[in-house]
Amino acid sequence: MGTYGLDSVLTAWKQGKITAEQAVGQILQLLKELDDRLTELEALVYPARPAVKNSVQKAHSNGG
């Protein structure tokens, strides 16, 4: 059984086509996919920024 959408997993489980353990496994796979996608989107929205420590050091060296 490949990874199905959440609605399909829940329907299959309710109809007794898959066990609770299989449903949990499918849901975990879906959760992992979503986590990967979210991480990718966050990287696009919030690109790497300079560390706060560096900003503080620069402020002190500039007399700030």
**Which DSSP symbol is given to 17?**
S
Q: Is residue 43 part of a domain?
A: yes
Q: Model's pTM, two decimal places?
A: 0.66
Q: Is residue 46 part of a domain?
A: yes
- Domain ranges, residue 15: 6-61
Q: Is residue 12 part of a domain?
A: yes
Q: Is residue 1 part of a domain?
A: no
Looking at residue 57, what is its pLDDT? 53
Do the Cβ atoms of 6 and 23 come closer than 8 Å?
A: no
The gap from C-alpha 8 to its chain's centroid, in whole angstroms, comes to 21
Tell me the per-residue pLDDT of 5-61, one tens digit each, with 9 for 90 and over: 999 999 999 999 999 999 999 999 999 999 999 999 998 998 886 666 655 555 555
Tell me the per-residue pLDDT of 49-63, one tens digit each, with 9 for 90 and over: 666 665 555 555 565
Do the Cβ atoms of 9 and 18 come closer than 8 Å?
A: yes
Tokens of 53: 């420590």
Tokens of 33: 């996919």
Number of domains forming the structure of the chain: 1
